[in-house]
C-alpha cells in the first residue's frame, strides 16, 4: 500500500513547538529549511509507485521522506547505520523531511528499507531524475544564469580491491570455483584435487602472494593454462556457461591470453604482453564495470559541469548542472556532447563552455556549434616550429579562399571542393621569398601549392585566438571547476565510494551532486541575506576605503625607506 503525505498544505499549528527561538533560527538558517520548502515536494515519488501495490499489503514508509533520505544520506556521506540513526534522532532531518510525529512509524526506518529503496531507484534510473529536478528547482528559485559553464572529470574508486595481473587471475578462478561448488556440486567434485587446492586453500593462496618479480611471467603462464582448461572443460555445458563467474572467466581468457589454433588438448595458450591488453579489459572480478586509466589506475570517472559568473557580472548561485559516470578508460573527448545534451535536458544549456584540451577537439567544437554552444578550449598539439607561418597569416575572402600570401602576392589559381582547398603561387615569387623556410607552401612542377582543409583553417584560427588577452581572460575561469571537484570530495567523499558496479556508482554520484547543489544554495541564501543588511554594507564600504588608504600609505612608507637606503649606500660609497 502506497503512503505519501501532503507536504504542500501549510500546517495550522507549529509542528515543532518544542523548538525554542534560538534553535528554530539555527535550523531555518541551515539547508533543512531549503530542503523542506523547495526540494521535498519536487522529488519524483510518483515514479516509484510501480514498485508497490496501491491497495494490498502493509503501508510503505512515507515515500517523500524516503527519497529525501536517499539524497541527504549521500549529501553527508553516511553509512546505512549512520543514516538510520540520523533519521531517528536528528531534529534537523525531521524538519527537512517534514516528519512531525515521534512515533516509530514516521521517525524510524530499518536498514533493509534503505537497501530496498536504493535498489528501486537504481533499477528505475530515478537518481538521474532526482538530480535534474533538484537542480531545475534551485535554478528557478535562485534565478541561476547558466549561460557560462565549465566542465572537467574526476577519477573515483569503487569499493573494490586493486589487483595486479596475478591477483586478477587468482580471484577470477577462485570466484568461478566457489560458485561452481555452490550451484553444481557434482561438477565441482569431478575437478582435480590439485587444481582446487591451489585456489581454495590458504596454503595455495599464499603461494601466489609470494611470487618474485622474476618469476611472475612463469606464474602467469601457469594461471593462463588453468583458465583455459576450465573454460574448455565447461564450454559445452549451458548450466555453467550461464553463470556470471564463468562469463568473467571467459572474458579474462579472451582479453588477457592468446589461444593458438588447435582443437582440445592440442590448442596452446599464452599470456599477452602488458601493452597488448586493452584499457577496457576486466580489471577486477568483483567490479567488472570498472575501467583502467594508465595514469590514475582502476576505477571510474565522473564528468561534472557547473555554471559560473565572471568578476564583472552579478554574483549568482553556482550549481552542478550535469553529471555523467563512465569507466576510467573512457576519454574526456567523448564526454562533451553528452554533457551538453544533459544540460539541455535539465533546461540549463550554456551558451559558452570552458574546458581543457581533450574536450576541445575540432569535431566536438563543430557539434557544439550546431547546438549553439561555443567551446573555449586550447588546441591539442603545437607546431614543430613556433616561428613558422600559419594559415592565419594568409589573406582570405569570406568564402575561405586564399587571396594573398603574407608577402602580398596573389595566387595564380585557387580551387576548392568538399572543404579541401588549393592555392597555386608563381615559383618566381616563392623561390626568391625571404619567408620560404617558414612558409607552409610546397614547391611543385608548375608552381608552389598551398593545400589545406576547413579543419586546418579552423585549428589555425583557434591557435591564433589562444595568444590573445581575451582568450586568456576567459579561459582562466576553467580552473574554478577544480574547486568544485574538491568540494564534492571533501563534503560527500565521492572519490572513494562504498559500492561497486556502474549502476551503484552512478546512483551515489548523482545524489552526491544533488546534495552539493542543496548545500551551495543554502550557503548562497545566507550570503544574500547578509549582503543586504545595513551593517554589512557599511562594513564593506569601510573595508575597501581603508584598504585603498592603506595601499597609499604603504607605498609612501616603502618609497621613503628605499630613499633612506639609497642615501646611506651613497654616503658609505663616498666615505670609502
Q: What is the pLDDT of residues 561-570, one digit of tens each?
A: 777 776 676 6
Do the bridges between strand 148-156 and strand 442-443 make them parallel or antiparallel, or are there none, so unpaired?
A: unpaired
Domain end (from 124, 143, 175)? 124
Quick one: pLDDT at residue 262? Answer: 61
Interatomic CA distance for residues 153 and 304, integer angstroms: 6
| The pLDDT of residue 123 is above 80 | yes
Of 230-239, 365-374, 399-408, the least confident: 399-408
Q: Is 149 a member of any domain? A: no
Strands 352-354 and 374-376: parallel
CA pair distance 567, 563, nearest whole angstrom: 6
All three cell numbers of 223, joined, read 594461471
Rg of the chain on CA atoms, in Å = 33
Residue 556 reports pLDDT greater than 80: no
Co-location of 250 and 315 in the same domain: no
Show the beta-strand stretches assigned E in 318-455.
320-327, 352-354, 374-376, 395-396, 402-404, 413-417, 420-425, 442-443, 448-453
Mean pLDDT of all residues in 552-574: 68
Residue 253 placed within a domain = yes
Residues 6+ apart with CB under 8 A from 35: 68, 72, 96, 97, 518
Q: What is the torsion angle, in degrees rounded to the nearest 10, for the CA atoms of residue 532, residue 536, residue 539 and residue 544?
A: -50
Question: Which residue range(s) make up the domain with 60?
Answer: 21-124
Q: Are residues 342 and 489 in the same domain?
A: yes
The CATH number for 514's domain is 3.30.420
- Whether residue 516 lies inside any domain: the answer is yes
Could you say which of 124, 157, 186 is where a domain stops? Answer: 124
State the Cα angle at 519 between 514 and 520, rounded to 5°: 95
Is 188 found in the same domain as 267? Answer: yes
Percent of the chain with pLDDT over 90: 51
Residues 88, 39, single domain; the answer is yes
Same domain, 358 and 480: yes
Residue 489, domain member (yes or no): yes
| Range 97-103, long-range pairs (CB < 8 A, 24+ positions) | 97/35, 97/36, 97/40, 97/64, 97/65, 97/68, 97/69, 97/72, 98/5, 98/7, 98/15, 98/36, 98/40, 98/64, 98/65, 99/62, 99/65, 100/11, 100/15, 100/16
Same domain, 371 and 493: yes
Q: Quick check: 48 and 124 in contact, CB under 8 A?
A: yes
Assess if residue 110 is contained within a domain.
yes
Boundary of a domain, candidates 276, 301, 336: 276
Q: Does residue 541 surpass a pLDDT of 60?
A: no
Q: Whose CA is closest to 464, among 407, 396, 403, 372? A: 396
DSSP 60: P
Same domain, 175 and 269: yes
Regarding whether 487 and 453 lie in a shared domain, the answer is no
Within a domain: 144: no
Backbone angles phi, psi at 530, to 5 degrees: -65, -40
In a domain, 446, yes or no: yes
Confidence of residue 85 (pLDDT cuts 50, 70, 90): very high
- Does 60 share its domain with 197? no
Given 3-state DSSP classes, what are the helix, strand and coil percentages for the chain, each rounded to the nearest 5? 55, 10, 35
Domain check: are 330 and 408 in the same one? no
Q: Quick one: cell of 313?
A: 557580472
27 with 100, same domain?
A: yes
Q: How many domains does the chain have?
A: 4
Residue 295 has pLDDT above 90, yes or no: no
Residue 13 in any domain: the answer is no
pLDDT surpasses 80 at 203: no
**What is the model's pLDDT at position 535?**
56
My answer on whether 368 and 415 are in the same domain is no
Amino acid at each position: 500500500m502506497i503512503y505519501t503525505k501532503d507536504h504542500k498544505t501549510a500546517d495550522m499549528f507549529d509542528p515543532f513547538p518544542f523548538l525554542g527561538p534560538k534553535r528554530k533560527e539555527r535550523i531555518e538558517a541551515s539547508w533543512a529549511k531549503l530542503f523542506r520548502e523547495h526540494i521535498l515536494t519536487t522529488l519524483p515519488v510518483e515514479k516509484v509507485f510501480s514498485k508497490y501495490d496501491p491497495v494490498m499489503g502493509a503501508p510503505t514508509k512515507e515515500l517523500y521522506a524516503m527519497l529525501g533520505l536517499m539524497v541527504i544520506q549521500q549529501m553527508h556521506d553516511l553509512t546505512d547505520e549512520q543514516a538510520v540513526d540520523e533519521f531517528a534522532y536528528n531534529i534537523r532531518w525531521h524538519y527537512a523531511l517534514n516528519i512531525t510525529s515521534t512515533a516509530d512509524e514516521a521517525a524510524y526506518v530499518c536498514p533493509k528499507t534503505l537497501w530496498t529503496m536504493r535498489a528501486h531507484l537504481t533499477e528505475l534510473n530515478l537518481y538521474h531524475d532526482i538530480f535534474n529536478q533538484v537542480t531545475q528547482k534551485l535554478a528557478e528559485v535562485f534565478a541561476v544564469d547558466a549561460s557560462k559553464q565549465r566542465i572537467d572529470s574526476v577519477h573515483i574508486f569503487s569499493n573494490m580491491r586493486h589487483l595486479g595481473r596475478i591477483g586478477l587471475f587468482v580471484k577470477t578462478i577462485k570466484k568461478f570455483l566457489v560458485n561452481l561448488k555452490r550451484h553444481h556440486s557434482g561438477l565441482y567434485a569431478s575437478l582435480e584435487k590439485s587444481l582446487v587446492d591451489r585456489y581454495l586453500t590458504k596454503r595455495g593462496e599464499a603461494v601466489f602472494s609470494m611470487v618474485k618479480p622474476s618469476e611472475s611471467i612463469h606464474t602467469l603462464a601457469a594461471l593462463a593454462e588453468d583458465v583455459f582448461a576450465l573454460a574448455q572443460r565447461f564450454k559445452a555445458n549451458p548450466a555453467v556457461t550461464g553463470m556470471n563467474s564463468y562469463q568473467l572467466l571467459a572474458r579474462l581468457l579472451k582479453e588477457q591470453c592468446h589461444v593458438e589454433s588447435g582443437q582440445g588438448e592440442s590448442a596452446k595458450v599464452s599470456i599477452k604482453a602488458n601493452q597488448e591488453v586493452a584499457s577496457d579489459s576486466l580489471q577486477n572480478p568483483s567490479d567488472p564495470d570498472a575501467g583502467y586509466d594508465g595514469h590514475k589506475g582502476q576505477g571510474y570517472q565522473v564528468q561534472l559541469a557547473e555554471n559560473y559568473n565572471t568578476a564583472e557580472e552579478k554574483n549568482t548561485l553556482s550549481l552542478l548542472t550535469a553529471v555523467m559516470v563512465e569507466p576510467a578508460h573512457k576519454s574526456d573527448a567523448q564526454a562533451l556532447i553528452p554533457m551538453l545534451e544533459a544540460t539541455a535536458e535539465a533546461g540549463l544549456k550554456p551558451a559558452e563552455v570552458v574546458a581543457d584540451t581533450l574536450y576541445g577537439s575540432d569535431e566536438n567544437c563543430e557539434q557544439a556549434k550546431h547546438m549553439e554552444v561555443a567551446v573555449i578550449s586550447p588546441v591539442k598539439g603545437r607546431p614543430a616550429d613556433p616561428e613558422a607561418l600559419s594559415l592565419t597569416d594568409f589573406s582570405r575572402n569570406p568564402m575561405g579562399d586564399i587571396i594573398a600570401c603574407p608577402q602580398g602576392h596573389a595566387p595564380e589559381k585557387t580551387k576548392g571542393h568538399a572543404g579541401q582547398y588549393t592555392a597555386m603561387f608563381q615559383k618566381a615569387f616563392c623561390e626568391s621569398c625571404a619567408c620560404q623556410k617558414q612558409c607552409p607552401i610546397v614547391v611543385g612542377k608548375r608552381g608552389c601549392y598551398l593545400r589545406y582543409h576547413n579543419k586546418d583553417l579552423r585549428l589555425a584560427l583557434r591557435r591564433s585566438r589562444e595568444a590573445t588577452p581575451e582568450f586568456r581572460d576567459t579561459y582562466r575561469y576553467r580552473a574554478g571547476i577544480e574547486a568544485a571537484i574538491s568540494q564534492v570530495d571533501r563534503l560527500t567523499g565521492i572519490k572513494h565510494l562504498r559500492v561497486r558496479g556502474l549502476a551503484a556508482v552512478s546512483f551515489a554520484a548523482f545524489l552526491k551532486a544533488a546534495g552539493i547543489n542543496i548545500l551551495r544554495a543554502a550557503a548562497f541564501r545566507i550570503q544574500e541575506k547578509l549582503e543586504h543588511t545595513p551593517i554589512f554594507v557599511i562594513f564593506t564600504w569601510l573595508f575597501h576605503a581603508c584598504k585603498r588608504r592603506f595601499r597609499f600609505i604603504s607605498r609612501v612608507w616603502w618609497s621613503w625607506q628605499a630613499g633612506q637606503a639609497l642615501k646611506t649606500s651613497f654616503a658609505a660609497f663616498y666615505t670609502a
